[in-house]
Amino acid sequence: MDNHFPFFEYQDGELYAENIPVRELAKQYGTPFYIYAASSIRRQFTTFQEALNKVCAKPPLIAYACKANDRLGILKLMNNLGAGVDVVSVGEMKRALAANIPASKIIFSGVGKTERELEEAIEAGIRQINIESEPELKNLAIAAEKLQKDISVSIRFNPDVEAGTHDKISTGRSEDKFGVTAERIIHLYKHAAETKYLNPHGISMHIGSQVADPRYFIPAFERINDLVHQLRAEGLSVTELDLGGGLGITYRDEPEADIEAYAKLIKEMIEPLGCQLSFEPGRYLVGNAGILVTKVIYVKETDVKTHVICDAAMNDLIRPALYEAYHTIHPVIQNGADIRTVDIVGPICESGDTHAKDRPLPLPEEGDYLAIHSAGAYGATMSSYYNARVPACEVLVDGSDHTLINRQESIEQQIAREKTLLS
């Protein structure tokens, strides 16, 4: 079998997470649960860092977009690698600080930062706030004035480009809610430069997620060049460029984004601007470092379908329901059974609770384990308690070591909390 997930490989017909049989972890932690492979995260980070260090005059900041996976265990690993973090809420900022990520490496993005969030970010002394609209800039000026504290600002550019990806994860088209168009940015930047406590130092952008081909960045990079030249012609200083994330990974058999090709574009199109660069990869760093392990509860045969009903559901991993995402699913133990075309589903009372439709799979039996791949990004962080189901716990594997890094509140704990509120 062709394996796109090198830290999850079979040995003698049994799936391993790095050096540990997945079956042993399943027995210890119970299903459903996530496994993250630390070595995979380190490899992705190093690949990205080395490719960009080679082409950038100043080493860029790699600010991991932690909405992909914000667990402290993962953030600490990122901190040890020297990563910064891109956050999209004050909650994420607090998580990053709790993992000892220096404030000087935290970037705050997002279209709807509240007054309170802006104040907390200024107070924490983070590296930069990416401003996405005129009213947000106004609120930032008020917050900084109130605290009498300087804050560095980048304005998020909406370059009006297609990213060749799913509609729900495209963020750089003019109709998307993100960023500011070129005409407005110059006015906003100038205004920020004239505002006390605000230090506009650059431009940020993020055109979308799961961008398969780095060539999709070319039009955006061209437009950023024009914009920087226009800003400089107005006498404004532009020293920082934050180029966002969005690099794609393999879910099925599509190739992972070519980092060397991406770095080459950076060298040719961005480096001549002479700015300090930062990047915000999320999925690329952690997506294929994770699997969701589930147990088969029933195999239900009907006249038209075979439904493999599992104990993981859309409350654990919502990507198939939300984005029609494809996730590779493999048996944890290769049982030699005939391949059958099946629907792999969860127990939730929605037809959308389907991990895979019409998927060829060696027909499993009740009690067998399945591994849902590419679940390291936008998996656990998007989980919920829907149907009063406790989301899967999370285990970090590193070589032959394993650690439980997250277990969610039990239903008993939730009931007790709500009872206190009602009493």
Ligand X SMILES: *Cc1c(COP(=O)(O)O)cnc(C)c1O
Q: Which residues bind ligand X (CB under 6 A)?
A: 65, 67-68, 86, 88, 109, 206, 209, 244-247, 280-284, 377
Give the H or E element holding residue 273: none
Q: Which of 245, 253, 323 is nearest to 288 (CA)?
A: 253
How near is the Cβ of 282 to ligand X at its closest, in Å?
3
Q: Which of 116, 121, 118, 61 is nearest to 96 (CA)?
A: 121
How near is the Cβ of 284 to ligand X at its closest, in Å?
6
Q: Which of 56, 66, 275, 349 is catalytic?
A: 349
How near is the Cβ of 298 to ligand X at its closest, in Å?
35
Under a CB-based contact definition with an 8 Å cutoff, are residues 113 and 88 in contact? no
Grouping H, G, I as helix, E, B as strand and the rest as coil, residue 150 is coil
Peptide bond before residue 255 is cis, with ω within 30 degrees of 0: no
Please give the Cα distance from 307 to 157 (Å, whole number). 46
Radius of gyration of the chain (CA): 23
Q: Which residues pair with 344 in a beta bridge?
A: 308, 356
Please give the Cα distance from 62 to 276 (Å, whole number). 11
Residue whose CB is less far from ligand X, 86 or 353: 86
Residue ranges of E strands in 57-150: 61-65, 84-87, 106-108, 128-131
Residue whose CB is less far from ligand X, 185 or 247: 247
Report CA-CA distances (Å) from 356 to 8, 138, 326, 329, 344: 20, 46, 7, 8, 5
Q: Is 349 a catalytic residue?
A: yes
Please give the Cα distance from 404 to 385 (Å, whole number). 20
Please give the Cα distance from 356 to 366 (Å, whole number). 18
Q: Which residues pair with 251 in a beta bridge?
A: none
Residue whose CB is less far from ligand X, 67 or 402: 67
Residue whose CB is less far from ligand X, 320 or 331: 320
Grouping H, G, I as helix, E, B as strand and the rest as coil, residue 67 is coil
Residue whose CB is less far from ligand X, 283 or 327: 283
Q: What are the structure tokens assigned to 189, written together?
A: 């930047």
Residue whose CB is less far from ligand X, 280 or 343: 280
Catalogue the active-site residues: 349
